[in-house]
Amino acid sequence: MQWLRNSAVRRLMIVAAFSHITVEALRRLEFSGQTRSAVESWLRRMVRDGWLQSAPLDDHQAYYRLTAKAVLYLKRICKRRVSRAATRPLSPNRKFEKHALLLHCTAVDSPQRWTYRPSHDAGAFNDIASHIAQGKADPLRHKLFYREGDTVGYFVADRGQSRLIQSKIRPKMFSLFKWQSFQQLAETKRIRLTIVTTTESRKRELVSECEENPPPLAWEVVVIAELSSLLPRIRFQPSAQEISHGKTP
C-alpha cells in the first residue's frame, strides 16, 4: 500500500468536496506563492500514481477528480467521509453549477468559503438528518450550498433562463423553508441566496428581478465572467456599453 503525506490527503479531500479541481483553483487553495508549474507537476504525479484522473472542462482547460483508488484510501485508511460519486465525471447538466461553486469559493479576493452539505450536519439540521435516517432520500441532494463563517449560502448558477427568480428560485426557496432548521437560519439571518452569472448586463437584469420579486432572505448577484466558456455561445450577448469598456468575457 502506497502511503500519502498529510498534505496530499488534504488536497484529495478538497477535490472530493468540490467533485473536481482545476490547476488555478488548487493553486489558490494550496500552493500560494508557488508557480503554476509546481501545481501542474503535483497533479501529473497524482494522475500517474493513480490517485487522480483528468477530463476536459472546456476547450482550454482540464479538471481533475478522484479515482476509485483514492476514494478507497480516504475511506479505509484515513476514515474520511467520501462518496464513490466523487469518481464520476461532471455531468453536462451539473458541470456549470459545480464549477461555478468552485470558482466562487476559491476567488482570490473572497473571504474563507467552503462547500457545505447541510444534510451531513446533524447538529444544525437535525430534522433533515432524521428524515434521511428513516431511509428517505436526501431532500437537498440536488441543491448546492457553501459556508462562509456562520452564514450558509444557498448557491444558484444562472444559465440565462427567463424569469429565473419567479419561476425557479422562489419555488426552491419555499421548499427549503418547509424545514424548521432552515426557518431558524432565516430568523437569525444566517442564510443568504447567492446567484452567479457571467456578465454585468445579466447581473442588472437579475438584480431588477430580485427587487421586483424579492426572495424570502438576503440575496446577492455575483459575476464570474470565465464561466461563459461553459455556456453555449448564443447566451449572454454583451451590451454595447460592455463591449466599449472591454468587459466582454
Assess whether 85 and 174 both reside in one domain: no
What's the mean per-residue pLDDT of the chain? 90
Q: Which of 66, 89, 112 is the last residue of a domain?
A: 89
CA distance 114 to 116: 6
Helix (H/G/I), strand (E/B), else coil: 58: coil
Assess whether 102 and 53 both reside in one domain: no
Question: If we measure between CA atoms, which residue out of 195, 245, 197 comes closest to residue 223?
Answer: 197
CA angle (167 as vertex; 120, 102 as ends), nearest 5: 40
Assess whether 1 and 72 both reside in one domain: yes
Assess whether 18 and 35 both reside in one domain: yes
Assess whether 106 and 183 both reside in one domain: yes
Assess whether 178 and 134 both reside in one domain: yes
Assess whether 70 and 105 both reside in one domain: no
Q: What's the pLDDT tens digit per position in 11-52? A: 999 999 999 999 999 999 999 889 999 999 999 999 999 999
At 63, phi and psi to the nearest 5? -125, 165
Amino acid (1-letter code) at residue 29? L
Element containing residue 194 per DSSP (H, E): strand 191-197
Place of cell 468540490: 18
List helix spans (H) across the chain. Answer: 6-18, 23-30, 36-48, 68-76, 95-105, 126-133, 164, 170-176, 180-187, 200-212, 240-244
Q: Which of 42, 63, 89 is the last residue of a domain?
A: 89
Q: Which of 24, 59, 89 is the last residue of a domain?
A: 89
Q: What's the pLDDT tens digit per position in 170-211? A: 888 889 999 999 999 999 999 999 999 999 999 999 999 999
Number of domains, the chain:
2
Contact status, residue 59 vs residue 226, Cβ threshold 8 Å: no
Assess whether 1 and 53 both reside in one domain: yes
Could you list the beta-strand ranges (E) of 76-183.
114-116, 144-148, 151-157
Assess whether 32 and 15 both reside in one domain: yes
The torsion defined by the Cα of 160, 162, 166 and 170, in degrees rounded to 10, comes to -30
Assess whether 132 and 202 both reside in one domain: yes
At 56, phi and psi to the nearest 5? -70, 135
Assess whether 237 and 116 both reside in one domain: yes
Domain region containing 37:
1-89
Assess whether 58 and 69 both reside in one domain: yes
Q: What is the pTM of this model?
A: 0.89
